[in-house]
Amino acid sequence: MKIDLNADLGEGMDDAAILPFLTSANVACGMHAGDPSAMDRTVELALKQGVRIGAHPGYADKANFGRTDQELSEPGLRALLLYQLGAIDAIVRARGGVLRHVKAHGALYNRAAKDRELARVIAETVRDFGRDLVLVGLAGSVQIDAARAAGLKAAGEAFADRRYLADGSLMPRSRPGAVLHDPAEAAAQALRIVREGRAQTLCMHGDTPGASAIAAAVRAALESAGVAIAPL
């Protein structure tokens, strides 16, 4: 068994505390959270830890942390994505690193899991920016299908710190208990997901209170069970 461990970073939290437990970092690109200085600082920290870096683009909506859906035209969405990919790629290159993957954020991510047309636009835009990039999306979702159709490598993602509904979708954050805060509960869920072979990468949100403790527990549980922790 093998799994990548990722977290959404550059969103104003203590990224240094969680990075030692990760193999991949999704860095906010300044639209839903962060700014150029935060992006540069997060990239520097990740590279020092040997953590692979990915872009984490979202809607231009800091007021709602990118968690409110927006209606954008195809050219508008494409431009928004390219703007963010170009910005983080420039910072990563200047620091001597390589951008490895792309994972949409928040409402954009959730909609791309169900909306085939939106998923297509995201996949094709990522492909046009860099054919070697891995597109990360909700495991079993249409975003994974769109990535493969566009000729990209796809990585199905599951969540250690989010509760799932019976149909396999994520419980909306508006509902009580949607986010797991108990490290032991998150670790047990992570191990269950890996054993079931449901995903290639597991996410722990950097903005979840106690994120570093959750990440530490998840990694320890997986390694104790003989799971290899390795980047995408």
Q: Please state whether 65 falls in left (phi above 0), alpha (psi between -120 and 50) or beta.
A: left
CA angle 230, 21, 140 (to 5 degrees): 55
For 2, counting Cβ atoms within 10 Å of its Cβ (0-12 exposed, 13-18 middle, 19+ buried), the class is exposed
- pLDDT value for 170: 84
Q: Lowest-pLDDT range, 79-83, 94-98, 165-169?
A: 165-169
- Considering the chain, what percentage of its residues have pLDDT values greater than 70? 100
CA angle 155, 18, 80 (to 5 degrees): 50
pTM for the full model?
A: 0.95
Asked if the model's pLDDT at residue 168 lies above 80, the reply is: no
Q: Cα separation of 181 and 128, whole Å?
A: 38
8 Å CB contact between 16 and 206: no
Options 3.20.20.370, 3.40.50.150, 2.60.120.10, 2.170.8.10; CATH of 2-229: 3.20.20.370
Tokens of 130: 């860099």
Dump pLDDT digits (tens) for 8-52. 999 998 899 999 999 999 999 999 999 999 999 999 999 999 999
